Amino acid sequence: MIFGVNRQPPRNSTQMQMLNSSPIFHDFSGESYDSDTVRATVDAFARNVGKLKPKHIRRMGGKIKETSSEIEWMLQTRPNRFMNAYIFYYRLATQFLMANNVFVWIRRDENNKIEGFYPLTSSNVDLVNTSVGMAVRFRFYDGKEYVAPYEDVVHLRRFYFNNDMFGEPNRTALTPILNLISVTNQGIANAVKTSAMLRGILKFTGMIKDTDMEKQRQDFQDKYLSASNNGGIAATDSKAEYVELKSDPKMIDEKQMSAMENKVHSYFGTNSKIVQSNYSESEWNAFYESMIESFALQMGLEFTYKIFSDRAQGHGNEILFEANRLQYASNDTKVKIIETLVDRGMMSINQGLEVFNLPPVENGEKRIMSLNFIDADKASEYQLGKVKGSAEPPKVKGGEKKNDDNGET
């Protein structure tokens, strides 16, 4: 459905030979994502990455020109037939943290025109040599395979260390703390169950039939161990003696549980305030600069290289991923920044309105500038009372009149 029936992968492939590692990547992310702590942490990153806005720009002569190309429209609205832009980048961010490797296949038609961008999730991936050069062989969970040229695969990596081509998996580093959290959660559940289990023994002093013993036990339970026994007092005669069994299940305290969750948050580059959307302006900026901005930078570089030919890149074509960071600032900060940037001509009126989620106005793309600011090249002339290209009018002495003889008299 994604690859099409007429697309034949390259044949006669041989496995790539790496210097220091294996050319095969196995996906171990499934078990980790089952943890509620991991899932909430990854979601906090992915839902904010989904807000990034891709742009196709062209750098020419030191200037940046927005192109509004078809590629930009595709990346901003619907990268493929099955995903809108938000879901597309949300999935890339999720795979980035969970597998430390992201593979996006660029589908092209027979004329090499881009038809879509498809993130691929497979059981394992290996690099092979084919007739078209280096390629990626995907083995999917249903047993099927597909080989795509590496130049048509956007490859994002995290924890890039020992392996020559792939990011390191999370399994070794993350499994111990996840096992500890799992055991802790099971302990809490067992403690709750224990509190509802056997709480005492009804000891009969004489011989009694099993049926009578069960009836006596049920009567005692109904009378004294139910919620209707508001007084909390039981009464027995000499035929039976009630012996209480004290259970003392050990519960992990809140600080210890929080410390374990913080280890997971730290591993994924965030904290509990970001996960719970309870962050301050400075905390958000720190999270953005350390996690989202670096991911956006890697995406921009990789998408640029895999989308455009060397010639197109030489003409300044580039893909950037941006976010309106002012959306997360306080209203006081927004007002101060807008006042500063608009007065200096660095922001249009519509850009200022966008910060407050207000609709644009007619002619709002014009930039205005306060008269308090002038061109730096003309500052000295302005201070001396001179402006280049203008002549100072001749002074007229007292009692004299102006004439039109060009100064001849």
pLDDT of residue 160: 92
Q: Is the dihedral of CA 294, 300, 303, 305 positive or negative?
A: negative
pLDDT of residue 227: 56
pLDDT of residue 5: 47
Q: Say how far apart CA 285 and CA 325 lie, in whole Å.
A: 8
pLDDT of residue 203: 73
Contacts of 220 (CB under 8 A, 6+ apart): 202, 234, 236, 240, 242
Q: How confident is the model at residue 62 (pLDDT cuts 50, 70, 90)?
A: confident
pLDDT of residue 13: 59
Q: Say how far apart CA 86 and CA 100 lie, in whole Å.
A: 20
Q: Coil, strand, or helix at residue 235?
A: coil
Q: Per-residue pLDDT tens for 336-377?
A: 888 888 777 788 888 888 877 788 888 888 887 776 666 666
DSSP code of 163?
S
Contacts of 387 (CB under 8 A, 6+ apart): 378, 381
- On average, the pLDDT of the chain sits at 80
pTM attached to this predicted model: 0.73
DSSP code of 4?
-
pLDDT of residue 388: 52
Q: Say how far apart CA 94 and CA 97 lie, in whole Å.
A: 5
CA angle 78, 81, 84 (to 5 degrees): 35
Q: Is the dihedral of CA 336, 342, 347, 349 positive or negative?
A: positive
Q: How confident is the model at residue 180 (pLDDT cuts 50, 70, 90)?
A: confident
Q: Say how far apart CA 56 and CA 22 lie, in whole Å.
A: 36
Q: Say how far apart CA 275 and CA 360 lie, in whole Å.
A: 32
How many residues are listed for the chain in this entry? 409
CA angle 298, 304, 308 (to 5 degrees): 160
DSSP code of 300?
H
Tell me which H or E stretch contains 249: none
Tell me which H or E stretch contains 385: none
Q: Coil, strand, or helix at residue 106?
A: strand
Q: Which of 25-29, 100-104, 327-331 has the weakest average pLDDT? A: 25-29
